[in-house]
Amino acid sequence: MSQFDKIINRRHTGSVKWDYVADDVLPLWVADMDFEAAPAIKQAVLNRAEHGVFGYTKVEDDYYEAVTSWFHRRHQWDIQRDWIIYTTGVIPALSCAIKAITLPGEKVLIQTPVYNHFFSSIRNQGCEILENELVRQGDTYEIDFVDFEAKCADEKTTAFVLCNPHNPAGRVWHKDELERMGAICAKYNVRVISDEIHCELVMPGNTFIPFASVNALNQSNSVTLNSPTKSFNIAGLQIANIICSDNEMRRRVDRVVNIYEVCDVNPFGPVALKAAYNESEAWIDELNEYLWGNYQLLKTYFAEYLPQSKVLRLEGTYLAWVDISALGMTSKQVTKKLLKEGRVFVNDGPLYGNKTGEGYFRINLASPRAVLQDGLERIASTLGVKK
């Protein structure tokens, strides 16, 4: 039995995932895992809590050493300490980076379907959203580079927000793709903001490559956002990093972080990060194997009981993207039916792009296998297929 098979009752604990819905609804929506944090993280947080005083937090040298060592060891990316700006989360970091790099009225390029907070972060800074629609090829997506370059060439386009690994398309971008996107952006003076929060959640046979690690051009023209919170299930501890090698761009981002007052972190975030990066590598490897098993269960189940709907390839994240267009209903109709009749909550596709998300839903696989099995049975039964 895997440690990830343990079922933990999260209801009535202030959980957004579980307490947002009624008690008889199974939540397979927001990107929040139902697994306990790694033992080293739990112990580090307990040790810090035992001290009993939770005043303002100074981030020490060993924090930066944990970050730089992890990315050197795990992803062959050499980060200098002074490139790192810590903050409370990747979403605040994204808004800060957009604010620092753009002016109101300028255009920010994204690749849809994509994480819904990209839309709100761009709009909140007074910028215009420009979509480079990903192209469905079989069970995966590819980049339309002709369209990508045309939109970068627009003189009003000043930033591109990359999602790597991509949520919800499940892609882990290859080196040649990252290099090509980087060259086009540099050619037209488009700054790259790379959201890499899912970087440790990579399925077998795939390799995550940080955008900035590809070459010197990518590194000098980018801001990277990452955090252990998604991969190690510690989002509530609120810790993230902004990494930027360009002195002027980093100065501007740091200034916005201070203006928005997201420059201070709580006492538990740094200790959790250090325990994750210094002591929990074996845990994350085991997690990825378990998630891969859950994805295989999803694919097998849909092939047997819902063959008209197609599960797309999952290279990274634990968020599966499912094509339900053959059901003859809109995405919202399907997800409402699942919620009302099946008492299971998944995300409807248009949340990630009205055009590119229609005909899909997103399902969170990061639950004990028995919980996922229950969800799959509810989905199959509700959509008219009996076991």
Tens digit of each residue's pLDDT (9 = 90 or more) over 155-167: 999 999 999 999 9
Q: Both 275 and 285 in a single domain?
A: no
Whether 163 maps to a domain, the answer reads yes
Do 23 and 120 belong to one domain?
A: no
pLDDT at 170 > cutoff 70: yes
pLDDT in tens, 332-359: 999 999 999 999 999 999 999 999 999 9
What DSSP string runs through 183-212?
HHHHHTT-EEEEE-TTTT-B-TT-----GG
| Domain endpoint, select from 231, 254, 279 | 279
Q: Are residues 338 and 378 in the same domain?
A: yes
Helix (H) or strand (E) holding 131: strand 128-131
Quick check: is 246 in a domain? yes
Whether 269 is covered by a domain: the verdict is yes
Domain boundary among 246, 279, 312: 279
Q: How far apart are CA 379 and CA 358, in angstroms?
A: 18
Owner of token pair 């200034």:
255
Whole-number pLDDT of residue 387: 46
Cis amide leading into 165 (omega within 30): yes
Determine, yes or no, domain membership for 60: yes
Please check whether residues 100 and 192 belong to one and the same domain: yes
Parent domain of 295: 3-39+281-382
Q: Do 89 and 31 have their domain in common?
A: no
Are 210 and 134 members of one domain? yes
Q: What is the pLDDT of residues 5-35, one digit of tens each?
A: 999 999 999 999 999 999 999 999 999 999 9
Asked whether the bond before 168 is cis by omega within 30 degrees of 0, the reply is yes
Same domain, 102 and 230: yes
Residue 91 has pLDDT above 50, yes or no: yes
pLDDT at 384 over 80: no
Can you tell me the mean pLDDT for 243-268? 98
User: What's the CATH number where 326 sits?
Assistant: 3.90.1150.10
pLDDT exceeding 90 applies to what percent of the chain? 99
- Residue 56's Cβ-count burial label (10 Å; 0-12, 13-18, 19+) is exposed
Domain final residue pick, 241, 260, 279: 279
In a domain, 47, yes or no: no
- Domain assignment present for 387: no
Q: Which residues have a Cβ under 8 Å from the Cβ of 338 and sit 6 or more positions away?
A: 344, 345, 346, 378, 379, 382, 383
Taking each helix axis from N to C terminus, what angle separates 175-187 and 145-152, rounded to the nearest 10 degrees? Answer: 30
pLDDT (0 to 100) of residue 385:
59
205 and 313 inside one domain = no
pTM of the full structure: 0.97
Indicate whether 312 pLDDT > 80.
yes
Q: Kindly state whether residues 270 and 290 are assigned to the same domain.
A: no
**19 and 67 share a domain?**
no
Determine the residue type at 293.
G
Whether residues 303 and 274 fall in one domain:
no
The answer to whether residue 49 is domain-embedded is no
pLDDT recorded at residue 3? 97
What value does the mean pLDDT take over residues 113-127? 98
Average pLDDT value for the chain = 97
Domain count, the chain: 2
- The rounded radius of gyration (Å) of the Cα atoms in the chain is 21
Q: Tell me if 104 is assigned to some domain.
A: yes
Residues 230 and 363 in one domain: no
Give the Cα separation of 258 and 355 in Å (integer): 37
